[in-house]
Structure 1
Amino acid sequence: MPPEISELLGQNIALIVLAVVIFLAVRSAVRIVPQSEKYVVERFGRLRAVLGPGINFIVPFLDRVAHKISVLERQLPTSRQDAITADNVLVQVETSVFYRIIEPEKTVYRIRDVDAAIATTVAGIVRSEIGTMELDQVQSNRAHLIERIRESLANVVDDWGIEVTRAEILDVNLDEATRAAMLQQLNAERARRAQVTEAEGRKRAVELAADGDLYAAEQQAKAKRVLADAEAYATNAIAVAIRDGGIEAAQYQVAMRQVEVLTEVGKGQGKQTIVLPASAIEAFGDAFKLFRGLKAG
């Protein structure tokens, strides 16, 4: 092979190698990061940078992408842990935690298995929080308990570059003996409430009856007061008549009252014989005389 051809061939090979090297350098220098990920770049085994979404440049052959971390929200598998309440009741709590990685450099270099670490931390926090509450509080204040768990968990996982977005208590299960005891207690409470309601009903009925009697007594008292006022008015009228008309007017009133009584007796049903005393006959005469006298006056 002529020297010129060999030299030309060698130059072409060198250009091809250079082109390949440049291509590889450019390819390794340019990194396109998806929106849902972050890249952790190392240089000689040491943290160099964290690449965000978009086009990024690194030093070829010196820097390398050591970890590709997803920043999407993650959900831990549902876990169950036993806990004992303050009133010594054994419960089984089902929890679920949602989190996302916000600082990949901490997650990569400070914790090996982040899911297992979070699950263990959640179990400890749940046992600790439930141990300070009674069973009724656990059942009725579940939202408050969830908030306490989330806050405690957020303080722990902050060093791991993790943000806890949500923590949920899916269920609180009891053993059969505790369930039976709670059912008996619930039935007893319902019976007590029924008795209280019935007693309150009877009490209300007695109060209403007493109010009715009191109202009737007040009305009777008012009626008696009206009658007393009427009698007083009549007595006053008679007194005025006696004062103005003299004794004859009084005698006239008495005689007319006797006549009215005898008239009522005569209106009885059936045949009857009325025996009048002499004083009654005199009453008719006195009334007639007084009437004539009053007319003449």
Structure 2
Amino acid sequence: MDLNDILNVIGGGGLVTLLVAGFIILCIFKGVRIVSQSEKHVVERFGRLRAVLGPGINFIVPFLDRVAHEISILERQLPNASQDAITADNVLVQVETSVFYRIIEPEKTVYRIRDVDAAIATTVAGIVRAEIGKMELDDVQANRSALISTIKASVEDAVDNWGIEVTRAEILDVNLDQATRDAMLQQLNAERERRAAVTRAEGQRRAVELAADADLYAAEQTAKARRVQADAEAYATGVVAAAIQANGLEAAQYQVALKQVEAFSQLGQGQGQQTIVVPAQALEAFSDAFKMLRGRG
């Protein structure tokens, strides 16, 4: 059966039906759009923005509407970039940055900016130079997290009109030229030596203070001992005075005689032969003392 036989079988009405069916299928194919979860589609009608299609099944007007842009909304990473910057203390540094972003409003991205990656990279470079120019080198090294937060916020403000969300901004490294590194190393060594000298001086001062405290403590203890001894002697003197006042001179003579007898008794207990020369007045005093002892006894 050739083509003519087929056309004869279909006839005039069958051909129209076939064409209508084909047109309906084409309209369905043109009018139904399935968008994946990671994309958004920008629809135009006669060159103007008509709609933004989200994930799932969407319907558009066939032959009038068309999908002009298919935009991925996945997070993107810009290539690592290095830019030179000068700190507030006139030090040249090379900063390596990395930026992550994603498109959240594709209708703004496709109609307001041509090269998104280049625009964001240029914006980041300018903001990094401006922020580092406000800080000294030591602050750049010590406050890197705060600097990253400031850069991220500034970039977000700059790209807000492009329908872009900056999810993360990182400063990967801050590099210095060799001359600056050598100068910083010398400064670091000098600072370490200064701290060591201060530590030694503080140790010597503390040793002197401790020695002085020890001498002061010894002097105070000696003074306390002397004060206790003086108090004891004063007490003994007071006791003797009280005894003399209570018993008269006889009691005092009795005590003196008692001490003299004890002294000669100890002297006589020495080893070997001793020769004792006693004045005549002492013999009379001993005689009186023995009389008093016998009288006491």
The alignment of Structure 1 onto Structure 2 pairs a total of residues equal to 293
1:155–1:228 distance in 2 versus 1, CA, 3 Å: same
* Separation of aligned partners in 2, 1:63 and 1:267: 140
Contact kept in structure 2, 1:29 and 1:60, CA below 8 Å? yes
The structure 2 residue matched to 1:235, chosen from 213, 234, 237, is 237
| Counterpart residue number, 2:121 | 119
| Counterpart residue number, 2:286 | 284
What is the aligned-residue RMSD (CA, Å)? 2.0
Check if 1:187 corresponds to 2:193.
no
Letter in 1 for 2:14: N
After TM superposition, give the deviation of residue 292 of structure 1 in Å: 1.9
| Counterpart residue number, 1:60 | 62
1:86-101 matches, within 5 Å, as 86-101=88-103
After TM superposition, give the deviation of residue 284 of structure 1 in Å: 2.8
1:109-258 matches, within 5 Å, as 109-258=111-260
Contact kept in structure 2, 1:125 and 1:152, CA below 8 Å? yes
Contact kept in structure 1, 2:257 and 2:290, CA below 8 Å? no
| Counterpart residue number, 1:76 | 78
In structure 2, the residue corresponding to 1:55 is in which secondary structure?
strand
* Separation of aligned partners in 2, 1:205 and 1:245: 59
1:176–1:6 distance in 2 versus 1, CA, 3 Å: same
| CA offset digits 1:144-183 (Å, max 9, x no partner) | 1111101110110000000111111111110000000000
1:265–1:192 distance in 2 versus 1, CA, 3 Å: farther
| Counterpart residue number, 2:107 | 105
* Separation of aligned partners in 2, 1:48 and 1:278: 147
Check if 1:50 corresponds to 2:40.
no
Percent same amino acid at aligned positions?
72
Contact kept in structure 2, 1:34 and 1:54, CA below 8 Å? yes
After TM superposition, give the deviation of residue 262 of structure 1 in Å: 4.5
After TM superposition, give the deviation of residue 239 of structure 1 in Å: 0.8
1:154–1:253 distance in 2 versus 1, CA, 3 Å: same
* Separation of aligned partners in 2, 1:168 and 1:268: 100
In structure 1, the residue corresponding to 2:246 is in which secondary structure?
helix
Contact kept in structure 2, 1:259 and 1:283, CA below 8 Å? no
Letter in 2 for 1:51: L
* Separation of aligned partners in 1, 2:271 and 2:171: 93
Instruction: Name the TM-score, length of structure 1 as normaliser.
Output: 0.93
1:272–1:7 distance in 2 versus 1, CA, 3 Å: same
Letter in 2 for 1:208: L
1:218–1:19 distance in 2 versus 1, CA, 3 Å: same
* Separation of aligned partners in 2, 1:212 and 1:269: 46
1:268–1:165 distance in 2 versus 1, CA, 3 Å: farther
* Separation of aligned partners in 1, 2:56 and 2:265: 125
In structure 2, the residue corresponding to 1:126 is in which secondary structure?
helix
1:276–1:148 distance in 2 versus 1, CA, 3 Å: same
* Separation of aligned partners in 1, 2:20 and 2:77: 48
After TM superposition, give the deviation of residue 248 of structure 1 in Å: 1.2
Q: Which sections of structure 1, spanning at least 5 residues, go unmatched?
A: none
